[in-house]
């Protein structure tokens, strides 16, 4: 059996366009070989390779001038959190990648590409034709100055525009989770400062002026529920759960002052009833973090605050369980409901 010629550059490991390969002198017959798959016309992906969403995005944009990524695809590239059903990743819960499924035939014979129930969201300006190709959800959008940015060599909707577009796809709570992540910023006595993708003021101004953009009505409702300083989606989910239950409002990233006047940063704090909450993710299980947490807990208690720790298991038990735990602490601190 004749050995296949090597593909130039990273084409042996990364998705690429047929046009780019031909431009580098790759024979057209080589692009029909059995070691390559055809996810969509004009594209090739090496069999057995693992592709990130950016790997797949770049060659798509090379196929049509003026195309850009939007909606959940733009959100993933920008690092905006999404619910599991919207994430572009394998069903096994691995990293954000799309797996090329090995098959014993080449592109000409109908080889296929496995993106487990997910699509790349590709858009064009409203006056253009709708993107239509396999593995792509096509959109036509009203685009204004500043709505498009370039990140990692890919053109996509800006963080603010992406959030408004997400309003057409996500339930309200998931939209608020995404919004909290976009505007999150803080500077604490430990760790590097957190820089927002867009400040809350800038996002509010964008939404206010986004007349005629599909999804803006829902975004205008959601923006009133955004809070600055949130570190993770579970913190937003916990805050919204408590708000829905009618509990007193908790402020994200609240500094409790210890007996020496030093801030102890808590995930959520209610100064009126001197009660704070900590959402403990998997990183809290390490011995080093447990030691730091114990010191934090001591300082909070000495300051006269009650602390409730919530984790994934608590959230899985449901709102009644979580609300009852927090409500008990609030009542002990004087809340009378």
pLDDT in tens, the chain (337 residues): 467 788 888 888 888 888 888 888 898 888 888 888 887 788 888 887 777 888 888 888 888 888 999 999 999 999 999 998 887 753 333 333 333 443 333 333 333 333 333 678 999 988 888 888 877 888 999 999 999 999 988 999 999 999 999 999 999 999 999 999 999 998 877 778 889 999 999 999 999 999 999 999 999 999 999 999 999 999 999 999 999 999 999 999 999 999 999 999 999 999 999 999 999 876 666 777 778 888 889 999 999 999 999 999 999 999 999 999 999 999 999 998 7
Please report whether residue 1 resides in a domain. Answer: yes
Report which of 271, 275, 335 is spatially closest to residue 306, judged by C-alpha positions: 275
Residue 109's pLDDT is 34
Q: Which domain holds residue 10?
A: 1-141
Please report whether residue 222 resides in a domain. Answer: yes
Same domain, 4 and 135: yes
In terms of C-beta density within 10 A (0-12 exposed, 13-18 middle, 19 or more buried), how is residue 69 classed?
buried
Residue showing tokens 């580098």: 24
Same domain, 135 and 221: no
Q: How many CA atoms lie within 13 A of 6 on its CB side?
A: 3
Same domain, 13 and 130: yes
Long-range contacts of 279-286, Cβ-Cβ distance < 8 Å, separation of 24 or more = 279/232, 279/234, 279/235, 279/238, 279/310, 279/311, 280/309, 280/310, 280/311, 281/232, 281/234, 281/311, 281/312, 284/311
Please report whether residue 282 resides in a domain. Answer: yes
Reported pTM: 0.84
Q: How many other CB atoms sit within 10 Å of the CB of residue 230? A: 26
Same domain, 128 and 171: no
Residue 285's pLDDT is 64
Same domain, 182 and 128: no
Please report whether residue 337 resides in a domain. Answer: no
Residue 291's pLDDT is 83
Same domain, 203 and 112: no
> H/E element holding 124?
strand 120-125
Residue 89's pLDDT is 55
Which residues, other chains included, contact 305 with Cβ-Cβ below 8 Å and sequence gap of 6+?
256, 269, 274, 275, 276
Counting every residue written for the chain, the total comes to 337
DSSP codes of every residue in 192-207: PPB--SS-HHHHHHHH
DSSP 39: S
Same domain, 275 and 173: no
Same domain, 38 and 23: yes
Same domain, 270 and 322: yes
Give the residue from 195, 229, 263 where a domain finishes. 229
Please report whether residue 147 resides in a domain. Answer: no
Same domain, 13 and 133: yes
How far is the C-alpha of 139 from the C-alpha of 129, rounded, in Å? 9
Adjacency order of strands within the sheet including 36-37: 16-17, 43-46, 36-37
Same domain, 178 and 136: no
Same domain, 38 and 165: no
Residue 332's pLDDT is 95
Please report whether residue 150 resides in a domain. Answer: no
Please report whether residue 298 resides in a domain. Answer: yes
Domain count, the chain: 3
């Amino acid at each position: 059996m004749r050995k296949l010629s090597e593909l130039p550059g990273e084409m042996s490991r990364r998705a690429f366009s047929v046009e780019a390969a031909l431009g580098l002198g790759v024979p057209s017959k080589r692009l029909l070989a059995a070691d390559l798959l055809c996810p969509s016309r004009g594209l090739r992906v090496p069999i057995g390779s693992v592709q990130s969403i950016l790997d797949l995005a770049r060659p798509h944009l090379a196929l049509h001038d003026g195309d850009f990524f939007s909606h959940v695809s733009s959100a993933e590239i920008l690092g905006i959190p999404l619910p599991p059903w919207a994430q572009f990743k394998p069903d096994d819960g691995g990293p954000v990648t799309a797996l090329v499924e090995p098959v014993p035939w080449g592109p000409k014979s109908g080889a296929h590409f496995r993106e487990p129930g997910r699509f790349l969201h590709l858009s064009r300006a409203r006056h253009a034709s709708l993107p239509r190709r396999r593995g792509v959800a096509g959109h036509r959008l009203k685009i204004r100055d500043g709505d498009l940015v370039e990140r990692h060599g890919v053109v996509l909707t800006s963080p603010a525009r992406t959030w408004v577009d997400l309003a057409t796809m996500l339930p309200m709570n998931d939209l608020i989770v995404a919004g909290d992540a976009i505007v999150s910023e803080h500077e604490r006595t430990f760790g590097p400062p957190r820089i927002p993708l867009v400040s809350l003021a800038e996002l509010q101004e964008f939404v206010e002026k986004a007349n005629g953009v599909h999804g803006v009505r829902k975004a205008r409702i959601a923006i009133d529920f955004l809070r600055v300083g949130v570190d993770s989606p579970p913190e937003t989910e916990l805050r919204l759960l408590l708000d829905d239950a009618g509990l007193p409002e908790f402020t994200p990233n609240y500094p409790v002052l210890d007996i020496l006047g030093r801030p102890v940063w808590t995930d959520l704090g209610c100064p009126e009833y001197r009660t704070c909450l900590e959402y403990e993710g998997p990183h809290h299980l390490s011995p080093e973090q447990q030691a730091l947490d114990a010191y934090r807990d001591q300082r909070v208690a000495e300051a006269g605050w009650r602390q409730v720790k919530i984790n994934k298991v608590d959230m899985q038990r449901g709102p009644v369980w979580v609300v009852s735990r927090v409500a008990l602490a609030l009542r002990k601190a004087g809340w009378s409901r």
